[in-house]
Every structure is written in C-alpha cells, then in structure tokens.
Amino acid sequence: MATAVHLPATLSREAALALDAADPLADFVGAFALPEGVIYLNGNSLGPSPQAALDRLEQSAREEWSRGLVTSWNKAGWFQLPYQIGDRIAGLIGAAPGEVVMTDGVSLNLYRMVAAALALRPDRRVIVMEGSNFPTDNYVVQGLIGTLGRGHEIRFAEKDEIAGAIDADVAAVVLTQVHYKSSHILDMAGITAQAQAAGALAVWDLCHSAGAIPIDLNGCNVDFAVGCTYKYLNGGPGSPGFQFAATRHQATMAQPLTGWWGHAAPFAFDRDYAAAPGIGRMLTGTQPILSMVAAEAGIDLAASAGIARARAKSLALGSLFQDLVQARLGDAGFALASPADADARGGHIAFDHPQGYPIMKALISRGVIGDFRAPTTMRFGFSPLYLRFADIWDAVDVLADVIETGLWRDPQFAAVDAVT
C-alpha cells in the first residue's frame, strides 16, 4: 500500500486504530460474515449477511420448510411474520406497534401507499415528488396515475423547490428522506407539516434512512411511509420492504391491490373482498417467508446497536473518509457531491469524478467495494455495524494507490457491467 507521509497525526492509521479501540459498537463487526480482504462500502445498496441470518435461514429451510411443511404456517408462526417483524421495524422508525407491516418490495409498497393517500384526497390531483429521486418511485407513481385515469399529475420539484411546490391542489407529497445519490436529507418534520397545513398528505420513502439515521415518523406526524430492509438493515438480497400507515388513517384507508392476505378473514374464503382492520389491509398475497426470516437478524442487530449510536459512528466514519480523501487526493479530481455538512447527509457520501466508473471498478478489484451511479458519481457507504475506522483508512490508502499507480487506466476496468 502507498504510505502517507504528510498526514497530520489525527489522520494517521494509528489514530484510526485508536478510534476502533474506543468504539462502543466494535463487537458488532464479528456478527457479520464478510469475506477476508474485503472492505465493504456498499451497505447502502446491499447490506452484508449477518451470521445469525445465515443460521436462521438454514434452520428455517431445513426444519420449518423441509420437516414442518405446511404446518409451519401455524407452528413456526409464518403467517404472523409480516406483523411481528413489522412491529420490530416500527421500533426503529418512530412508529407504534400495529402501524408497520413487512411485505413485498418497495416499489409495490409505494404503489399501495400512494394509492391509499390519493384515495383520501379525492378532490385533489397533484403529487409533489423530487424528480431526481431514485427513479422507481417516479415510475411507480406514473404507472399508478395512468391506471387511475383521473387526471392526476406529478409536480416535480428539487430539494429547494419543494416548499414552493406545495399548494391547495396537492393531494400528496411523495418524497425520499435520504437521497440515493447525493445523500442529502430532506426535512421530514417541516415538509410534512407544510403539506398537512395545505391539506395534503405526506408519504415518505425511507429506503436510505431506515437503519442509517434516527427517524421519528410519529413525531413528524407522517401519514404513510415505505422502506427497504436490504440496505442498512442487512436483510438480504431482495428481502421484503415495509409499509407504515399512521393509526389515524387505518380505518378509512384503502389500497388497490386487494388480495386474500389483506382480507378481514382470509380463511373464510369469502367471495368478496372485505378489508382487514388495521395495517393488515395493506397486504396482498403470500409472502416470501425465507426472505422474511433471513431479514430478522439484521433488524435485531440494528435494534440492539441502537440507532443513535449507529448514526454517531456512521458520521464519524464518513468524516474520516472525507478528511482522508481531501488530505491525500485533494487534487485528484474528486468533487464532493454530498452536503459538506455531515449532519445534512445520510449514511453514504458521493463524489463525482469524470473517470468514476473505471476508478470504482479498479477499486473493487482491490477489495474495496463501493458503487457507481451514472454519469459520474461514486458512492461510498458508511454502515456502522461492520466497518472499522482502520477499514476507512485502508480504503482511502487503496484508492490513493489506484490513482497514483494509474491502475484504473487498465482497459479491463472500462467495460460497463449490467449492474453498476
């Protein structure tokens, strides 16, 4: 590795090791099964596997599925999992028991939630969204309003334009708390209050905030929310997401994907739909049980670490990375694409670099895994439970080496993969 000769003592590897020695979350590192030689800075995209998740998955497959067969719906409590895990997620996002259900993917959940919000505001036609948001949110709402065929329109507004976009025509604001690319945090309390003062409802996407930053849905009086468990909650590839509906809406809310799991009496096998009371009406059909059980371990780890401690460490890891990049690569063309103020960003930091794609691929070839978002953004995630401060130091050391040796210029790093 390249040696850093001109670094101030506070940015030395010894200083990073000292931070690790004092880290109250240090013991969580061993709870994750990460391969040797990998520094994983992509937990904002897919969290790594907790060892307990692998064990639980194996036990569930071998015992509950293989031996228990269909009896496991009752005996292993499979049927209750969406509610049980939902309640545990509720504790991480400032929601009450009975307000959260784990189910399906985020895109589907957003479809149901936005449909429910629009149905509660039948006289209004405008939905405010941040156009630069992760596109599936836009696509889902575009598809929904096409299906509704009632003349709804999306009013796209970027971060600083959102306040000005909310007026008496707005049925719902549908926003993501932490931006997938820049990592900026929107003011959930302020925007929700403003939307509600204008008579609209607030729907929040927590994909990049659940498990990463403190969230207080009820403290912010949020109406509906969705979120994902495979990013900072380390639930596994494609693990189900979740839906939150404030208690005050549950008796009147309706969603279009009415299926038997959302029926008031699923095993009565009635001909006609009757919505379950409470959050259950937001379910549709049979759930991916193995993916659900796999996700429990990561949710439990997040709860036992505590979001406040996790956030504090994530901020410290990110700031160390930022300072080291500045000190070692200040003139190498990396432009910070996230808020400079750490408190204004979520769990990852983005840098723009004109050669971001081959640099990231070269970095990954050396075991430091971040990701790339077109056209020029490199993202580095600072998930606090399995990263050490020394890992951050080593990651920047490898990045400096990739730049200084020109490794990234190797033609093998230029070919664009299907998933970036």
Ligand X SMILES: *Cc1c(COP(=O)(O)O)cnc(C)c1O
Which amino acid is it at 405?
T
Q: CB neighbours of 332 closer than 8 A, spacing ≥ 6?
A: 353, 403
Please give the Cα distance from 234 to 21 (Å, whole number): 24
- Give the number of residues written for the chain: 420
Q: Give the distance, in angstroms, between the CA of residue 233 and the centroid of all CA atoms in the same chain.
A: 8
Q: Give SS3 for 373.
A: strand
Least distance in angstroms from the C-beta of 136 to ligand X: 5
Range 198-217, binding ligand X (CB under 6 A): 205, 207-208
Active site residue 83: no
Q: Which residue out of 87, 104, 205, 352 is catalytically annotated? A: 205
Question: How many CB atoms sit inside 10 A of residue 413's CB?
Answer: 19
Q: Among residues 47 and 280, whose Cβ is nearest to ligand X?
A: 47
Helix axes 13-21, 307-329, angle to 10 degrees: 180
Quick note: the x/- pattern for ligand X over 100-119, rule CB under 6 A, is -----xxx------------
Q: Among residues 208 and 388, whose Cβ is nearest to ligand X?
A: 208
Q: Which residue out of 56, 124, 181, 231 is catalytically annotated? A: 231
Least distance in angstroms from the C-beta of 178 to ligand X: 8
**Residue 228 binding ligand X, by CB under 6 A:** yes
Active site residue 155: no
Q: Among residues 136 and 355, whose Cβ is nearest to ligand X?
A: 136
107 labelled as ligand-binding? yes
Active site residue 380: no
Q: Among residues 180 and 389, whose Cβ is nearest to ligand X?
A: 180
176 labelled as ligand-binding? yes
Question: How many CB atoms sit inside 10 A of residue 33's CB?
Answer: 14
Q: Helical H runs in 22-168? A: 51-59, 72-75, 81-90, 106-120, 135-148, 162-165
Active site residue 205: yes
Q: Among residues 60 and 133, whose Cβ is nearest to ligand X?
A: 133
Least distance in angstroms from the C-beta of 356 to ligand X: 19
Least distance in angstroms from the C-beta of 130 to ligand X: 10
User: If we measure between CA atoms, which residue out of 309, 294, 293, 295 comes closest to residue 385?
Assistant: 309
The one among 2, 54, 121, 136 contacting ligand X by CB under 6 A: 136
Least distance in angstroms from the C-beta of 150 to ligand X: 24
Least distance in angstroms from the C-beta of 138 to ligand X: 10
Q: CB neighbours of 4 closer than 8 A, spacing ≥ 6?
A: 11, 12, 327, 328, 397, 400
**Degrees (nearest 5) of the Cα angle 53, 56, 61?**
125
Active site residue 386: no
137 labelled as ligand-binding? yes
Q: Which residue out of 28, 40, 134, 382 is catalytically annotated? A: 134
* Partners of 368 in the β-ladder: 39
Quick note: the x/- pattern for ligand X over 66-105, rule CB under 6 A, is ---------------------------------------x
Please give the Cα distance from 24 to 1 (Å, whole number): 29
Question: How many CB atoms sit inside 10 A of residue 308's CB?
Answer: 10
Helix axes 289-305, 307-329, angle to 10 degrees: 80
Place of tokens 């809406």: 249
Put residue 104 in one of left, alpha, beta given phi > 0 → left and psi -120 to 50 → alpha: left
Q: Among residues 350 and 400, whose Cβ is nearest to ligand X?
A: 350
The one among 28, 78, 111, 134 contacting ligand X by CB under 6 A: 134
Which positions are annotated as active-site residues? 134, 205, 230-231, 379
Q: Which residues are annotated as a binding site for pyridoxal 5'-phosphate?
A: 107, 134-137, 176, 205, 208, 230, 260, 286
For binding to ligand X (CB under 6 A), which residues are involved?
A: 105-107, 133-134, 136-137, 176, 180, 205, 207-208, 228, 241
